[in-house]
Chains A and B, each alone.
Chain A
């Protein structure tokens, strides 16, 4: 579960308006906190040679099932430090790591619900990575990296937001 913060969006607006240097520094601090997760997540992804040949891109492979391209999958792992649009429940994410490629998502979550499927069975034991995490946060690459991060990134993000808010308040109360 993400940490719920109040007033972070308003804080960003205020920073942009009254303290542009802090507005630029905050995303950098957040990014620095998120980068280790994405870096280790990319490391958990298999290389092109490790993947079974049936899942690799091939000629006449215009089927609907996504093929695994290591370059695309690794590029699909990243982070985002700008507030998103509200979801159905009205929450806006302030910092996010994602694994957006289709093949990457398959590698991430395969076997969560159907651990005995033929595809999963074929893939099992071929890769060094194993699933980590709980529930919806269980996975082989991104979720594993997040789990192994032990909340350090979350703490750093929250500390960055709080630090920016404190600095802004401090500047606002200073009278020359």
Chain B
């Protein structure tokens, strides 16, 4: 490969290996510095005060982190595992040299994601291995694992843990974690056993010492400034630190002096006459107070927590019960509304059915009327019919009211009153048979053509003929006999047109009557007469058509005659 070039100017920037080495050195340096700082090698007042402040801060932060973790676990239903989780974190930090400030958020993330303490602990162990091996921080690794647990493998692929994208897609979370466990097994332990790991462990230990001292300082300073303000508490803290520093200096001077005495080899504060005994007493008192306070605080805190939890549970239960009751009420209301709607629908159907049934009942009563044999039966039928009529009238009135038709309302009201009157009369049992008969007669369907209205029609025709100047209907052939009124009118006609007119008045059965007509009986439709050759004939015309439609009748007759003509059976002069 050609590699001919000249660099005119260049800059030394260092390469990747240099940077890595530099970073590692910086980390180690930082760790050692941190260790030195936390050991508190200087005993000056400012240093003691600063250390005290830092300790208090660390203790407060630790307490806060513990509470947050406990709360998070409780919120995901793992409240009972809070104590074991805290113990697990303490064990991890002493074993792997990772401070609890890092472990708690990581554990919290995993616990919230998995909702299972055992699974969270398994994943945290795996995270520690991966973090130790890859150099990624624990937070990143746990976040990636928790996301992968929830189905998002993107973050896991970015960790560079040696799993291909195809594997990430194809394999389940259990298979992936099993592979990771195999790949990174023992990394955290190996890292903890290095020099850096040892320094980290010491750092953790000193951080814990700082937290413990901070807790003690908080207790002590709280006692000192219990009944005053926070400013007093701060002032007390400074004064105490100053006092402690002076005491430490004094103890140092004293120890130096005592060393000069050949009899006293090892120095013990408790061995100092008088002062030593007082100091021992003071130490014991402080120790007892710390223990008592710790137990009191723990007990009180436990009770307070229990009370708070119980109170919260009761409140939640109450709210839940209230909500459930409201839901039940709404449900009942909805059910009632549904039932009402159903009833209304049914009511409409019933309403229609009523109408249908009334009509059917009226028809049935009319049929029964023809079969009645005794007056009692007649009375019963009359009663039933009257009731049905009343019901029908009521329905009609309701319909009219619904339609807001004033005329229909008035008419229906009038009919209802009449029906009620009839029913009242029947119910009062003051009924004569004639009245009943009249009632029943009113129920009978009226005939369209009967003898009475035929007579009336003929009478009308006669009047018309008179008005036209024709006096009587004259028969054209043969002897005449006494005929019923209708045929008499026909026979009384002087012309064929007049006769036909009269016949039309009878119902329009025949359009033309021949001169040899002898007799026509409208009731039976029979016509008799004498043929042109002198022979008598009788024939009956039955027309199967609707009543009262002249066109239909004429058409039917025409059809019959045309067919007869075609068959050759028709003889005569009937023009069609």
Interchain CB contact under 8 A, B4 and A93: no
The total of chain A residues at the interface (CB under 8 A) is: 44
B15 touches A90 (CB 8 A): yes
Q: Does A58 contact B (CB under 8 A)?
A: no
Q: Would you call B9 an interface residue if the criterion is a C-beta within 8 Å of the partner chain's C-beta atoms?
A: yes
A8 touches B11 (CB 8 A): yes
Verify if A75 is at the interface (C-beta below 8 Å from B): no
Q: Which of A90, A104, A146 contacts B2 (CB 8 A)?
A: A104
Report whether A94 and B2 are in contact in the complex, using a CB–CB cutoff of 8 Å: no
A9 to B12, CA, bound (A): 10
Q: What residues of B have a CB within 8 angstroms of the CB of A97 in the complex?
A: 5-6, 8
Select A95's contact among B2, B8, B13, beta carbons within 8 Å. B8
Interface positions of B from 1 to 28, Cβ below 8 Å from A = 1-15, 18
Chain B interface mostly: strand
How far apart are B17's CB and chain A's nearest CB, in angstroms?
9
Alpha-carbon separation in the docked complex, A93 to B13 (Å) = 10
Closest residue of chain B to A7 (Cβ to Cβ) is: B11
User: How far apart are the CA atoms of A108 and B3 in the complex, in Å?
Assistant: 11
* A161 on the B face (CB < 8 A): yes
Could you say which of A49-57, A151-159, A165-173 contacts chain B?
A: A151-159
Complex contact B8–A2 (CB within 8 A): yes
Tell whether, in the assembled complex, residue B2 and residue A91 are in contact, meaning their CB atoms are under 8 Å apart.
no
Q: Chain A nearest CB: distance from B362 CB in Å?
A: 104
Tell me, yes or no, whether A17 is within 8 Å of chain B by CB.
no
Chain B residues near A94: list those with CB within 8 A: 7-11
Look across to chain A and name the residue whose beta carbon is closest to the beta carbon of B17.
A90
Does A68 have its Cβ within 8 Å of any Cβ on chain B?
Answer: no
List the A side residues contacting B7 at CB < 8 Å. 2, 91, 93-96
Q: Are A101 and B2 in contact, with the CB atoms below 8 A? A: yes
B4 near A91: Cβ-Cβ < 8 Å: no
Having A92-B11, A105-B4, one finds 16 other A-B pairs with CB under 8 Å, namely A2-B7, A4-B10, A8-B11, A9-B13, A34-B8, A76-B2, A89-B15, A90-B12, A91-B12, A92-B10, A93-B8, A96-B5, A104-B4, A154-B8, A154-B9, A157-B9
What 9 A-B pairs come out closest when comparing CB atoms? A105-B2, A98-B5, A2-B7, A93-B7, A95-B8, A99-B4, A90-B15, A2-B10, A94-B9
List A residues at the B interface (Cβ < 8 Å).
Answer: 2-9, 33-34, 37, 76, 83, 86-102, 104-105, 108-109, 137, 139, 142-143, 146, 153-154, 157-158, 161
